[in-house]
Amino acid sequence: MSSAVNRRNGGAGYRHGATKVHRPPPSLNDSLDGEVRAFLTDEDQLHTYDDLTKVNPVTPTTVLKCLQARYSVKVFYTHAGCTLVALNPFQPIPHLYSLEVMKEYHCAPQPQEFKPHIYIVAEEAYRNVKGQVEPVNQSLVVSGESGAGKTWTSRCLMKYYATVAASSSVVKSQDTVERIERRVLDSNPIMEAFGNACTLRNNNSSRFGKYIQLQLDRCQLLVGASVQTYLLEKTRVAFQPANERNFHIFYQMIKGATDEQRKEWKMPHGENFAWLPNSEKTLEEDCFHETVEAMVHLGINAERQRLIFRILAGILQLGNVNFSSSSDESQTCNLDEQSKDFLQRAAELLCVPAEELQTCLRVKMLKAGKQSVHKPCPQTECSMRRDCLAKVIYAGLFEWLVTFINNSICADKSTWCNFIGVLDVYGFECFNLNNLEQLCINYANEKLQQHFVAHYLQAQQEEYVSEGLQWSFVKYQNNQSCLDLIEGSPVSVFSLLNEESRLNRASDAKTFRVRLEKELCDNANISWDKFSKLPHFTVAHYAGKVNYQIQGMVAKNKDPVPPELINLLQKSDNLLLHQIFTNKEDENLTTKGLSKVTVVSKFKVIVQLEACGIVETIHISAAGFPIRIPFKDFVQRYALITKYSNVKSGSHRVDVKAASNNVLRQEVEKLLRVTVQRRKAFDLSHNLGSEKQNSWVHCGKTKVFLTQLMLDLLEDQRKKTLTRCAFTIQCCWLRYQRRRRHARQQSATLIQAAVRSWLVRRKVRRWNRAAAVIQSAWREWRALLKSLAEAELDDAKDLIKESVPELNPVIRERGSVQLSSIPEPVTVRGWPMGLALATAPSITLSMTATGFQKMMSVMASLNLPSRRGGYKVETNQYTQELASIRAQPRGSVKLHCQRSPLLYADRKPVMKSDVKGFNEILLEKTL
């Protein structure tokens, strides 16, 4: 502000000519402030910066303004180089994580071209495992302060990989993949129920750190997973900060239990528990049914669930046990009737004797040589032992659950070869009261920051030097002094804390503060407020200063567990509780009642970030060349740019496998020159083969060092070249297809014409042969009919003329005949005979039938009366209308009945004729 005022005063005096004042050159801060103001002028465009590396200048103000602008338009993800910044919307946005969005990012050729999303980072890691010649294990670090949304992000990553890695077309392994996917996802509700709690900043805050390893086989299918946890905040079981809650599982039991379960757990309606504050608050995480269902899917049967919930109910009962001091110090502390009732409930639920439980909580055992001395505990120590019992039970149960989950979802080492790790670390924490838990959490963040910055930059700089790059080293904030303060040797906060914890004396906060001040006064990262009433110390972390309360820190580091409590739990009739603490004998306290392994030392052993594969998978966009590609791989991928380029580079095809580095380097330089020449934005005067340093690319001794812009340019040129090649191939293929199709059409036309001509000729020949056969057969048939007709003329020997009286005209009209042997007229049944008789001018019938066949024919043609149906005459000639009739125009009808010799009398010579038989034709012709 003062420099701005000086500029204004100097300028005014010079204009009025009063005094000439020399204006100092603008400072760096002044120019930076001007750039910031110029950048923030157009606020409407700030939300369009999807990558913070595009912000210029990069300052906390410009970055925060961009993030704020994107948050206001409901855009919650922003790139920051190779990292992704995620903002917690604090509201459900289901469409942002739907299955369709997941498939869209997974199936995209270039997911980086899409909007920033957590799925881009997930897909990039998956493709790095899947697309490499030698797949590289990947790990993703989800970090941030408490309430930033790390748990949700980790859940999204697990769901993405479980879905993507399970999308296989292999039928025989599909069921297995789906089962593993379901189990991996079902581990989340259980871990969150037992390890998460509602805090001031987050309703679902993880109170433990975890590293999830998703195991993939050679086909990059999900075959298993494993979970590693560290630093569970077990103190939350017995102590909950103001306006915070205990672990979710306790509230799920209270709100989701049935009446029978409440009766078994001795938790009637309306019962208040001291360790369940803010139980009236309802959260989305209070879903008991979801936790139970996840247990079932992971293989925790109903009996084990029953044992687990009885243990948890027993812990809640312990919280209502209160001790009061006795008037006589030699006597144990007193218990009121209500506390005795809760103690009895806890003993029954934990399946331990109530008297022995009461003794373990109120009496401590001291060993003097080989003798044991029992001493009553004061009220404070009784409460500590009660809390210690609850914490050790819950921690053991949590550890057992993690082991069971790993046994359920972890695959055999022979079945998987690569993994994708998801590290969900504690966020940087700074509360009003910070103790050992926050110190360990912030130490983990300091360690992570060191790996992100120092290790990466150091490895990068060494590679630049070895490859011969002219590199000006980038300065970065070094937090090594803070790490030396916390974990350094020989003297540090952790070393002094462990030393104080191993002393066989009661710890005093003021004494420990004095010792810290004395031993660590030379470190600039630690300070003290001498006017504070509470003993504390302040550590200057990379993320800010944090005040740590010393009171209770040594006791928490000791994490004392009285051996009599462990022995009591080992005697429990609860099979699960007995199993958990059976193998705890090696972890018992020493003879002095102190632990050999403190919380700090255990935490330092567990947090081995290198073992998680983080170091080799860190992707930080440094201010240099983040992309390094060996010459061989570079030529193999981008040689087609030169091959199909219009620029004459004079290059010839090189055997990449047999070529030396010098030859490959020359090919790389030619390739880069062609790429630059095809890009008008480049200065054509740039000579990549000279010693002049190019700001986008540099050829080392064995590798090509590229910036992201140069890589994008190469990929764009390669894509265009492939597009042109693909277009050329398509044109050639279409031309070939059309030519072949035209040739096939012509050939098909000729073949069809030849076939049709041959078929017509064959059909005509068949018709001619058929016509000749028909004509010949017809002639033969007519001749045969004529001969048969002549043969069927009346035979005078078979007919004898008799004088028959004339028939009555009525009888003649009715078509009947009068026989001499039958008094009544007889109706003619045969159609040909009836027709002949009915059309005759006069009917005079004289018939003599000789022979059996002739007699039967006559009887069938005439309706002769039968004797009570005693016989029925039917002949083939009658049913087939076969009768030989010859009519003459003389006025009398002569009938000659004999079996017709025609075998095909029912054939029709013409299709349109109604005549059915040749005898009918004969009759028709005759009549």
- In which band, very low, low, confident or very high, does the pLDDT at 610 lie, cut at 50, 70 and 90? very low
Structure tokens at 293: 């269902």
Structure tokens at 670: 């030619």
Cα separation, 802 vs 236, in Å, equals: 140
Quickly count: other Cβ atoms within 10 Å of residue 431's Cβ. Answer: 16
Residue 134 DSSP SS3: coil
Highest mean pLDDT among 87-96, 688-697, 909-918: 87-96
538-542, 612-616, 677-681, 846-850: least confident range:
612-616
The answer to whether residue 744 scores a pLDDT higher than 80 is: yes
pLDDT of residue 347: 95
> Is-contact 286 256, C-beta < 8 A?
yes
Structure tokens at 806: 């004339």
Cα separation, 553 vs 438, in Å, equals: 11
Amino acid found at 369? G
Cα separation, 684 vs 676, in Å, equals: 7
pLDDT of residue 113: 80
Distance of CA 230 to the CA centre of its chain: 27
Cα separation, 235 vs 193, in Å, equals: 16
Q: Which tens digits make up the pLDDT trace of 377-391?
A: 888 889 989 999 999
| DSSP helix, strand, coil percent of the chain (3-state; round to 5) | 50, 10, 40
Give the side-chain half-sphere CA count within 13 A for 651.
Answer: 26
Angle between helices 563-570 and 354-362 (to 10 degrees): 170
pLDDT of residue 30: 55
Q: Show Cβ contacts of residue 922 under 8 Å, excluding neighbours closer than 6 positions.
A: 785, 789, 884, 885
Q: Which CATH class is domain 436-617?
A: mainly alpha
258: which DSSP letter?
-
The answer to whether residue 498 scores a pLDDT higher than 60 is: yes
Structure tokens at 416: 């998987």
**Pairing state of beta strands 544-549 and 536-541?**
antiparallel
Q: At residue 521, what are phi and psi to the nearest 5 degrees?
A: -70, -20
pLDDT of residue 450: 78
Q: Which residue has the tokens 């180089």?
A: 81
Radius of gyration of the chain (CA): 53
Cα separation, 645 vs 433, in Å, equals: 67
Average pLDDT over residues 580-593: 58
pTM: 0.65
Q: At residue 6, what are phi and psi to the nearest 5 degrees?
A: -60, -40
14-23, 228-237, 286-295, 703-712: least confident range:
14-23
Residue that wins the pLDDT comparison between 725 and 893: 725
The answer to whether residue 6 scores a pLDDT higher than 60 is: no
The answer to whether residue 614 scores a pLDDT higher than 70 is: no
User: Quick one: CA torsion of 78, 84, 90, 95, rounded to 10 degrees?
Assistant: 70
Residue 548's nearest CA partner among 437, 435, 442, 428 is 435
Q: What stretch of H or E contains 323?
A: none
- In which band, very low, low, confident or very high, does the pLDDT at 898 lie, cut at 50, 70 and 90? very low
- In which band, very low, low, confident or very high, does the pLDDT at 907 lie, cut at 50, 70 and 90? very low
pLDDT of residue 904: 40
Q: Which tens digits make up the pLDDT trace of 774-833?
A: 999 999 988 887 777 666 554 434 444 445 455 556 544 444 555 555 566 555 544 444
- Max Cα separation, the chain? 179
Output the CATH code of domain 117-424. 1.20.120.720
Residue that wins the pLDDT comparison between 559 and 901: 559
Angle between helices 171-195 and 379-409 (to 10 degrees): 170
182-191, 711-720, 825-834: least confident range:
825-834
DSSP 780-831: HHHHHHHHHHHHTSPPTTT------PPPPHHHHHHTEE--SS-SS-EEB-SH
106-115, 326-335, 891-900: least confident range:
891-900
Distance of CA 539 to the CA centre of its chain: 43
Domain ranges of the chain: 2-33, 40-116, 117-424, 436-617, 809-926
Q: Which residue has the tokens 């989305």?
A: 284
pLDDT of residue 24: 46
Average pLDDT over residues 455-475: 68
Q: Between vectors from CA 525 to CA 524 and to CA 530, what angle results, nearest 5°?
A: 80
Please list, residue by residue across 718-742, b when 16 or more beta carbons sit within 10 angstroms of its beta carbon and e when fewer do: beebeeeeeeeeeeeeeeeeeeeee
Q: Show Cβ contacts of residue 122 under 8 Å, excluding neighbours closer than 6 positions.
A: 140, 156, 157, 160, 161, 164
| List of E strands, 5-144 | 77-80, 83-86, 138-142
Residue that wins the pLDDT comparison between 787 and 759: 759
268: which DSSP letter?
-
Structure tokens at 382: 């009784």
Q: Between vectors from CA 700 to CA 698 and to CA 702, what angle results, nearest 5°?
A: 135
The answer to whether residue 294 scores a pLDDT higher than 90 is: yes
Distance of CA 833 to the CA centre of its chain: 94
Highest mean pLDDT among 307-321, 497-511, 805-819: 307-321
Highest mean pLDDT among 10-14, 64-68, 370-374, 794-798: 64-68
Portion of the chain with pLDDT greater than 90, in percent: 29
- In which band, very low, low, confident or very high, does the pLDDT at 868 lie, cut at 50, 70 and 90? very low
DSSP 621-672: --SS--EEEEHHHHHHHHHHHHHT-SS--------TTT--HHHHHHHHHHHH
Cα separation, 513 vs 529, in Å, equals: 11
Q: At residue 629, what are phi and psi to the nearest 5 degrees?
A: -130, 125
pLDDT of residue 444: 83
827 backbone φψ class: left, alpha, beta (φ>0; ψ -120 to 50):
beta
pLDDT of residue 872: 43
Residue 253's nearest CA partner among 241, 244, 235, 265 is 265
Structure tokens at 717: 């040129």
Amino acid found at 546? V
Residue that wins the pLDDT comparison between 155 and 18: 155
User: What's the mean per-residue pLDDT of the chain?
Assistant: 75
pLDDT of residue 612: 35
> Is-contact 840 893, C-beta < 8 A?
yes
Give the side-chain half-sphere CA count within 13 A for 797.
Answer: 1
User: Quick one: CA torsion of 233, 234, 237, 241, rounded to 10 degrees?
Assistant: -30
201-205, 598-602, 864-868: least confident range:
864-868
Cα separation, 61 vs 844, in Å, equals: 139
Cα separation, 901 vs 897, in Å, equals: 12
Residue 252's nearest CA partner among 289, 227, 206, 280 is 289
Highest mean pLDDT among 289-293, 360-364, 509-513, 917-921: 289-293
Structure tokens at 700: 């080392």
Residue 471 DSSP SS3: coil
Residue that wins the pLDDT comparison between 179 and 215: 215
Q: What stretch of H or E contains 704?
A: strand 703-706
C-alpha distances out from residue 302 to 299, 581, 754, Å: 9, 21, 82
Give the side-chain half-sphere CA count within 13 A for 503.
Answer: 12
